[in-house]
Chain A
Amino acid sequence: MSPSTPGAPASPAGPRTSPPANALFEYVLRLGDDRLVLGHRMAEWCGHGPILEEDIALSNIALDLTGQAAALLALAGEIEGAGRSEDALAYFRDETAFRNALITELPTGDFGFTIVRQFFFDAYSLLLWDVIAKGGHAKLAALAAKSLKEDTYHLRHSSEWVRKLGDGTPESHARAQAAVDALWRFTGELFERDAIDDAAAAAGVAVDHAALAAQWRELVEGVLREATLVVPAAPGAMVTGGRRGRHTEHLGHLLAEMQIVARSHPGASW
């Protein structure tokens, strides 16, 4: 607050950002929300895949992500210590309290968009889990080790499809490239570092974001090259905000659907 002259009206000056009370809670929330929201998007494919085998594979990925989210949100609630369960966190927060990266909340788009988004995320997630699994927070490390196995399969699945689509037909190539172009500007957010990451590092979750970004870029560019796809030459500015609760317009609609039954019956058990 700025000092005010006696007799002058009180100034509504506030801090630029409110510092989070519990940084590790916020950090785990980010991990959980990424997977909750992406798992939700993936589950939208259930019954609508391009081939039955893919219906099963996409459902399986949705299931893994939702399972990871449930475990992470339960851990977040435990760290917070305010008695909020994973369901309370998933179903009774508004969109500004969600901490997922924007890339996870974008609508499913076509199969190419879904696959490229998943590929970008899988590559990031696998590299991140590898670091966290070796980190100093025991519970989180255990979750990371389990998720690492699932994400290894996810990355194999998504990268195989990136190759098939990129190096398939002219149409599939064009669609996959369009997805890479559209999604690229959302990838920077995954590697941003802020005070929450610093605090998490102090609590034993030390992630070198610059190194992670370099490894990601190498992995992603390798697969894109094999798929005859290219990183956009002029990608434009990266879009961010999800980690601070500043989302795209899509998240509100997703949550409206996800939370409708739970919120219509507050206090009910399911």
Chain B
Amino acid sequence: MTPTSAAPTAEDARVAAFEARIAAGESIEPKDWMPERYRKQLIRMMSQHAHSEVVGMLPEGNWITRAPSLRRKMSLIAKVQDEGGHGLYIYCGAETLGVDRHDLVEQLLNGTAKYSSIFNYPTLSWADMGVIGWLVDGAAIVNQTILAKTSYGPYARAMIRICKEENFHKRQGYEIVTTLARGTPAQRAMVQDAVNRFWWPSLMMFGPSDTDSPNSGELLRWKVKRKTNDELRQRFVNLTIPQVQAVELTVPDPDLHYDATSGNWEFGAIDWTEFNQVIRGNGPCNKERLDARRAAHEDGQWVREAATAYAEKHASRATEAA
């Protein structure tokens, strides 16, 4: 914590030195001095990210018991397990900033912390397992590849490791999509429907437009963020459209067109009303997702208490024996 007795000039000098380090491309480590705003922004981003991994286990977990082949079942279990691992890893990373994971989880459960709004959409067919891997993990990779260069060392290192697994998930997802797109007419219809449902929410994953992103300016200066939301969104669309074409599917955007001057796939207007509704808790599954997390937490209370009681008993027995 910053000593409150420090004179404003000393504080200013420390901020200046901190910003000079960032400008020089140095990474900030847990024991380094950092402005409180920087610490808070990182805790916010990292906890949201960890919560997203954990809540993100639910929509895909919904299809594990119905996976149509043993190979697909195994890779889906492994993917959801990876997400739990990412959550754990990022919670640990956030703890290097002086917060307790249990407090962060409490914020998720009491609804004060956010998580990625994409997970508030229901998974309605097996094709969603392919499309989520392809589009949702694909969008996450675009974000996280940049985050791997973020100025906070522990977060950057976590992102490098996580991106490797996410790339694997994306390939796996696109392989499911390809199989369905080349499958029976029913499978093809199933995957097109999944793309129709997840396309716009995937674009919304990059957050509000730059003109309307409250945290962006400072985060960019401190190299917490390295690209704007709109830049990343465009990058994702440009990467994804050729993949859509390769499997002869469509995206639900009549305004989509290629702009030869910019080299961009220009897309239609995003429905920010929907985005804001989901962010505010009014998405199709916000309540279900939080209810499921709360139920797991409450049902697990006696288990956690048992583990604590057992550890205490055995610690005291070990002391007595010594």
Contacts and interface: CB of A to CB of B under 8 A. Distances in A.
Interface in A158-184: 163-165, 167-169, 171-172, 175
Contact of A46 (B64, B69, B91, B126): B64
A169 B296 contact: no
Interface stretch (B26-34, B223-231, B252-260, B299-307): B299-307
Nearest 10 A/B pairs, CB to CB: A50-B300, A168-B306, A172-B306, A47-B57, A47-B61, A50-B303, A59-B81, A261-B68, A70-B70, A164-B310
A49 B300 contact: yes
A165 B80 CA distance: 26
Contact of A270 (B91, B179, B306): B179
Interface string A89-130: 011000000000000000000111000000000000000000
B77 A63 contact: yes
Given A50-B303, A59-B81, A270-B176, 16 more contacts: A43-B64, A43-B65, A43-B73, A46-B80, A47-B80, A47-B84, A48-B295, A49-B296, A59-B80, A111-B300, A165-B306, A167-B313, A172-B303, A265-B184, A267-B184, A270-B71
Contact of B66 (A87, A112, A258): A258
A66 B292 contact: no
B174 to A, nearest CB: 14
A69 interface: yes
Contacts of A258: 65-66
B65 A51 contact: no
B58 A172 contact: no
Contacts of B66: 257-258, 260-261
Query: Of residues B67, B68, B80, B87, which shows the largest number of chain A Cβ atoms within 10 Å of its Cβ?
Result: B68
Interface string B162-187: 00000000000000100100011011
8 contacts: A46-B61, A91-B69, A111-B303, A164-B310, A167-B313, A169-B309, A257-B66, A270-B68
Contacts of A66: 70, 73-74, 77
Contacts of A51: 300, 303-304
Contacts of B71: 70, 87, 270
Contacts, number: 141
B208 interface: no
B6 to A, nearest CB: 38
A221 interface: no
B140 to A, nearest CB: 18
A260 to B, nearest CB: 6
A268 B187 CA distance: 8
A40 B74 CA distance: 10
Contacts of A208: none
Interface in A247-270: 257-258, 260-262, 265, 267-270
B270 interface: no
Interface extent on B, as a size class?
35 or more
Contacts of A50: 296, 299-301, 303-304
A78 interface: no
Main SS of the interface on chain A? helix
Contacts of A257: 65-66
Nearest to A175: B302
B186 A265 contact: yes
Contact of A171 (B64, B65, B88, B305): B305
A48 B292 contact: yes
A87 B187 CA distance: 18
A262 B303 contact: no
B54 interface: yes
A198 to B, nearest CB: 30
B207 interface: no
A230 interface: no
B111 to A, nearest CB: 19
B74 A70 contact: yes
Contacts of A167: 310, 313
B183 A269 contact: yes
A238 interface: no
B124 interface: no
A218 interface: no
A265 B69 CA distance: 12
